[in-house]
Each structure stands twice: as C-alpha cells, then as structure tokens.
Amino acid sequence: MKDAEILSLSVTDMVTLLSDKKLSSVEITKAYLDSIGRQQESINVYITVLYDEAIAQAEKADNARASGEATSRINGIPVAIKDNICTKGIRTTCASKMLSEFVPPYNATVVDKLIESGAVILGKTNMDEFGMGSTCQNSFFGETKNPLDVTKVPGGSSGGSAAAIASLQTPVALGSDTGGSVRLPASNCGVVGLKPTYSSVSRYGLIAFASSLDQIGVIGRNISDTAILLDEIRGYDSKDSTSSKREYRSLYSALSKKTDKKLRVGVPDECFSDYVSEDVKTAYCNAIKMLEKFGAEIIRINSIPYKQALAAYYILSSAEASSNLSRFDGVRYGYRAQNVKNTDELFIKSRSEGFGDEVKKRILLGTFVLSSGYYDDYYLRATAMKNRITSDFNCAFKNVDVIITPTSPRTALSLEHMLSCTEIYKTDMFTISPSLAGLPALSVPCGKGKDNMPIGLQIIGNYFCEETLLRAGLIIEEQNHE
C-alpha cells in the first residue's frame, strides 16, 4: 500500500487491515514517521519525535499480533502524546524552558495503558507552556502552525496534537483540557476532540496546571477513532485520588448499535450574542437544523453565565497553578539558574528565567487571589460561581440530554493577531463552563467560516454520558460528509 493511502486510513480501517494481515504496524508507523519528517519544520507539531522507539514498538506489536497475543483493538496503531503527559525515559517538557531537560522516571497511567495495549507512540506534541494559552504560541519550542492555513494558529493548548492529526502526522492523539485545550484546537484544525467527564481518565503523570479542572482528553479524525482511543485510557486508577470507580463499557461497540431514542438538545441563548461571529452563528444554526432533521427536539434553555464563568475560571485555575508550579524552583524540580550569590537569588533567577510570560502572569494572579485580604473577595466568590454553574447545568440536564454551543465564538486566529490577553481568553467562553462543572464535552466539525477555516460544534453532556455526546456528534459528522 502506498504511504498516501496508509495516511488516509481511519483507525477503524487500520484495525481491520491489521487483523486481516493486509498491513503491518511497521508499514503504518514508517508512513507516519516519513510524514512527520516532511512537515516537522514547517508546522512544528512535535517537540520530540521517537523515530527509533516507534519502529521498535511497531515490530513488537506486529509480533504480538502474529503470535495471537494482541488482545487490544489499538495494537500497532500510532498515537501522539501531548508533552505534559509523563513518558518514562522520554523528555517531557510542558513546552517550558523550566522542564526542557526533564526525563520522567515513570509513565503516566494513560501511557502505561497505551503501551500495554500495543499502541505505538510517535512522539510528544507541542503545546502552550504548562497548558496555559489558546493559540499554541506560548511554547519555549516555538509556535505550532495550523496545517489548514499556515498563517493561522492551531488553537491551544493542545495545538500540536490537533495539528498533528489535521496534517496526517498521527491518526490519533492525547491532549489535556483544563478549560478547553482539547476542544479549541480540535475546532480550529477541523478534527474531533473530546474532554471526558472529570475523574473518568486518570491524571496520574499529567503534569498539573489546575488539578480540580485538568483532564486528559482524546483527539481524532472522526468520532469512532476518538471513541476507540478513549476506550483504551479510561477507568479507575488507585494512583489518582479523584479517579472514579465506575465500570465502563466500550463506547466504540456501543456506537455501532443504532438507537431510536429521541435526543433532547438544549440551546442556550448566549450562543446568539453579538460576540459570536456571523459565520459561526450560521454554522451553529445549521447544526441545530441537522439535529432537528434527525428528529431531535430542540429546547431553548436559560443561559449559562459565560462571562462570570470566564472570570471564575481564571481566578481558580491561576490559584491552583500558583500552588502547583511552586515546586519548580531550580532546587526541587526544574531549570536551575547559574552564577547566583545566594539561595534567594537562585529561586528568583531560576523561576524568572525558566518560566515564560503567560505562566508568570498566571502565577502572579494566582498568588494575589490567594493572599490574605483578597481570598474572600476573589477565590471564595469564584468558588461560589463554580458551584452555581454546576447547579445550573444540573437543572438543565433534567430537561435535555445534551447542550450545544459553538466551540469557539470565532475561527482560528491569525498568527499575527494583535489581541489583548483578555480578548484571547474569550475564545474559551463556551468551553470553560463545562470544565468548571466537570462535565464531558465534545468538539465536532460543523462547517466552515468565511475564511474557509473549520468551525466546531461543542456538545456538552451529563456526567459519564460520553456515549450520548458521541451519538449526537455522529449525526453532525454524517450529515457534514453528505
């Protein structure tokens, strides 16, 4: 099979060809590594590419299949991993100078699961430093470009993972999502991204940004590929104290069975606000029509307080970040500054030189909102807002199965955008509230903007209702391809 043909296969196709022995994992892996080699310089999606290790893993996967030991669906399938997820013996940088030399002595649980399943890890993908950003431009290793238009950003923070999929440099990838970092890049790059219910995927080995919100998520070319990857990584883990003990059935198998359950779809008023660009509104309205055509009942719901959610998110996530990132001081962990006179200077210089501007801004903000005198005014009020948003969602889910919004109010920004940081923060206005509530949310392509760039539809579901989300996503995906 020619490389171009291999690269065009979905994971489902590859699984069939691998089990029919019509294709080997080594052939697939080589095709992807060549594709990476051709594009790495122009798009910059990987921080580390595992050329030799990937081929060795692929050979192992082929042998396991030949001897009948391969039990998992994804045995031999290549995967890319965001560079804030620890990989034993492989540099894990969080796209920061602070961790540019960090080689973890252990694997994240999700990585262990993928290796056990026989997946082939192609490399570690670029991101906004420590997950802080919406453009993938806050990286010590240089910005990632959007493969659909290299003058645009891919979205962040998991921009490398989404761009890798859109440019055929991996079939599927892991990202992490604290306030939208899987969904926004998926939307900007025209691929599918799913942030699962908080607690359903282990966070052990995910380098923390804001622990109460962080969640590892999956990105793929289509809904089924995304479901296959999520099936492999979710489940209880005793190493993560927030991990749920729930048992899960395979999403991939569930999706292959039809259901005639009528879908009730909530449409919040806020999605029609002036801040949402006209082309995004048009694509959003088309998506509503697609769901209606499929028999869904559309129900207007009271708006979720998006602006307040945004403010609460930046207070809470920065507060947690300031605490989580305090360990990177050049002594306990991370980059150590040279030529210092005393320990105070060592801490100050290591942190000043090791962190980029956005990370420093968040640490300052977080330290401020936690300081005495301001704690009640900011941190406690933000916590109250988070609780209110959670109960608003709980109320809404009494009457609807899913809630839909645009993933972002606009298409991908230009690399040269001159937006202030607060304007950039608003690109996450729709993704943040489900994160605050810990709900699962999906971004699926639902059209194109005036600039011919993709637009994503966000589908939010109730806790542990990933199957419902993916089913709704399938309706959009199928009609989009017609």
Query: Under the rule (CB under 6 A), what is the footprint of ligand GLN?
Result: 131-134, 157, 177-181, 209, 317, 428
Q: State the nearest-atom distance from the C-beta of 82 to ligand GLN, in Å.
A: 10
Which of 11, 57, 25, 13 is closest to 165 using CA atoms?
11
Q: From its phi and psi, is residue 469 left (phi > 0), alpha (psi between -120 and 50) or beta?
A: alpha
Nearer to ligand GLN, 172 or 207 (CB): 207
Amino acid making up residue 288: I
Helix (H) or strand (E) holding 124: strand 120-125
Q: How far is the CB of 59 from ligand GLN (least distance, A)?
A: 35
181 is catalytic: yes
From the list 25, 134, 157, 318, the catalytic residue is: 157
Nearer to ligand GLN, 179 or 330 (CB): 179
210 and 177 in contact (C-beta within 8 Å)? no
82 is catalytic: yes
Q: Kindly state the helix (H) or strand (E) to which residue 79 belongs, with its residue range.
A: strand 78-82
CA quadruple 6, 7, 12, 13: dihedral, nearest 10: -30
> CB 204 → ligand GLN: shortest distance, Å?
18
CB distance 401 to 468 below 8 Å: yes
Closer to ligand GLN by Cβ: residue 118 or 179: 179
- Residue 85 pairs in a beta bridge with 206
Shortest Å distance, C-beta 132 to ligand GLN? 5
Minimum CB distance to ligand GLN smaller for 157 or for 411? 157
Query: Are 213 and 180 a contacting pair, CB within 8 Å?
Result: no
> Phi first, then psi: what are they for 414, rounded to 5°?
-75, 150
- What are the φ/ψ torsions at residue 352 (nearest 5 degrees)? -65, -40
- Shortest Å, Cβ 422 to ligand GLN: 12
Coil vs helix vs strand at 82: strand
**Given the complex with ligand GLN, which of 128 and 467 has the nearer CB atom?**
128
In the complex, minimum distance from the CB of residue 381 to ligand GLN, in angstroms, rounded to a whole number:
19
Query: By the 8 A CB rule, do 181 and 88 touch?
Result: no
Smaller CB distance to ligand GLN: residue 213 or 263? 213
DSSP state of 378: I
28 or 218: whose CB is closer to ligand GLN? 218
In terms of CB distance, is 243 or 317 closer to ligand GLN?
A: 317
What dihedral do alpha carbons 240, 243, 245, 246 form, nearest 10°? Answer: -150
DSSP conformation class of 190: T
Q: How far is the CB of 412 from ligand GLN (least distance, A)?
A: 14
Which one of 25, 35, 72, 82 is the catalytic residue?
Answer: 82
Chain mean position to CA 324: 20
How far apart CA 435 and CA 443 sit, in angstroms, is: 13
Q: What are residue 355's DSSP bridge partners?
A: none
Which H or E run contains 408? none
The rounded Cα 78 to chain-centroid distance in angstroms is 17
Active-site residue (options: 96, 181, 244, 318): 181
Q: Work out how close the CB of 171 gets to ligand GLN at its nearest, in angstroms, rounded to a whole number.
A: 23
What the block records as the tokens of 120 is 């082939």
Examine the residue annotation and report whether 212 is marked as an active-site residue of this protein: no
Residue 253: helix, strand or coil by DSSP?
Answer: helix
Q: Which residue is nearest to ligand GLN (CB)?
A: 181
Catalytic center residues = 82, 157, 181
